[in-house]
Amino acid sequence: MALKNERMQDKEVIKLLQNLKDDPAMGGDFDFQKSWSTFAHRYGFNPEIQEPHYTFRDYVETYLWQFTHSMLKPMAAVMAVFVFAVAGSISVVGASGQALPGDQLYAVKVGVEKVQLALAVDASARSQLRVEFASRRLEEMVQLAAQVNSAESGSVQLAANRFKTEVTNIQQELSGEGQTEFAKTVGRKVEVYSSTVTSSSADLPEEVLGEVEEILEETKDQAVEVIITSHEALQDEDSAHELDSALDAEIQSVMALYGDAVSEAVATAEALRAEGLYRRAFQVLKDFAFEADIQADLQIDIQTK
């Protein structure tokens, strides 16, 4: 019974609301056009306003405005951050180029070299980088030797070890096939390395000097061996020219060390060169140097006893 009375009350409320929906007190007689006309006259607007019609140009201009304000500014900000980051990185990398072992930026310098090796397009490019890195390690060693005193020679030894590591890498590259051109480059570079070491010998610890000279001699011999092997197979003029230059340098070296005692060996080497027998010409000079060094060591032993 109570539920029935409640339903009757709901129907009466609905009917009452329907009767009142058009009552002015409830806003039922609201007329937008009439109200707008009254509002426009009161505040000085044109009451005959029409719905706007937009052209294609209007749409394009609106899109461009939204794009430039909502997209380009963030993109510009990102690009600015990128440019500053790259510029900063380039500055750091540039500064690290002069860093020596022990400097804060030295790790950056070595890291950049590793990246260069990783990005090398072929074996030839990698080999050339090896030569360049060896040059840098040698320069670092020489600079440190000139700066530190004998009590700090440990840093020079570490620099020498880094140089020897790079030279060992060169030797590994030389052991591959088809490295004749690289061997020519190495042969010329080793002469430069040796000259640098000789001019800096007064600053280098004796032990370091001996180690560096030894590994350079080994590398030079390996480069010459590669060129000789190529020349024996091809008999080309380029290889012959490189071997002539290397043999001339070897003759000058042994004459500076042994003087007139090596004259006979030099004459033999020259005769072998004239016949195109470069391998035997180099071997004659090496045999003489080996025997002369043994004799010198024996003399020292006799004098010390």
DSSP secondary structure letter of residue 236: -
Give the pLDDT of residue 179. Answer: 86
- The structural domain count of the chain equals 2
Domain for residue 65, yes or no?
Answer: no
For residues 239 and 225, give the distance between their C-alpha atoms in angstroms, rounded to a whole number: 11
Q: Give the largest CA-CA distance in the chain.
A: 142
Percent helix, percent strand, percent coil in the chain, to nearest 5 = 85, 0, 15
Judge whether residue 224 has pLDDT over 80. Answer: yes
* Structural domain span for residue 261: 239-305
- In a shared domain, residues 221 and 248: no
> How far is CA 257 from each of CA 4, 231, 252, rounded to the nearest angstrom?
130, 29, 9
Q: Are 166 and 111 in contact (CB under 8 A)?
A: no
Domain for residue 149, yes or no?
Answer: yes
Give tens-digit pLDDT for 82-119: 444 444 444 444 545 678 888 888 888 888 889 898 88
Give the pLDDT of residue 153. Answer: 72
Judge whether residue 81 has pLDDT over 80. Answer: no
Which helix (H) or strand (E) segment holds residue 11: the answer is: helix 2-20
Q: Which of 2-16, 18-32, 203-217 has the highest average model confidence (pLDDT)?
A: 203-217
Amino acid at 2: A
Question: Smallest Cα–Cα separation from 238: which of 189, 174, 187?
Answer: 187
Give tens-digit pLDDT for 248-305: 999 999 999 999 999 999 999 999 999 999 999 999 999 999 999 898 888 877 777 6
Question: Smallest Cα–Cα separation from 110: which of 124, 129, 86, 82?
Answer: 129
- In a shared domain, residues 282 and 211: no
- In a shared domain, residues 220 and 251: no
